[in-house]
Amino acid sequence: MKKPLLIVIIILAVILALPVINLIRWSSQTKKPMGIIIVDKTVPTPQRVKHKSFNWVLTNNRFVKKDKNKS
């Protein structure tokens, strides 16, 4: 096998492996229960478009609703 082809294959393998590694690492993180309430009276519609970024941050940092039965 030619050396440039081997280098390209290794680079592609690394590029394809990184998202899988990050997904496995994110899935193995423990979920953090937390009671969070978003109160914003400036958003009149129930779609809450203005809160999408905040909800995305909470989801990706593995915050979940606190279990009411355990309190």
Burial of residue 58, with CB atoms counted within 10 A of its CB: 0-12 exposed, 13-18 middle, 19 or more buried: middle
Q: Is the pLDDT of residue 28 over 70?
A: yes
Q: What is the pTM of this model?
A: 0.59
Q: Is the pLDDT of residue 35 over 80?
A: yes
Specify whether the CB–CB gap between 45 and 18 falls below 8 A.
no
Half-sphere exposure at residue 34, Cβ-oriented, CA atoms within 13 angstroms: 11
Q: Of the given ranges (24-28, 39-43, 54-58), which has the lowest mean pLDDT?
A: 39-43
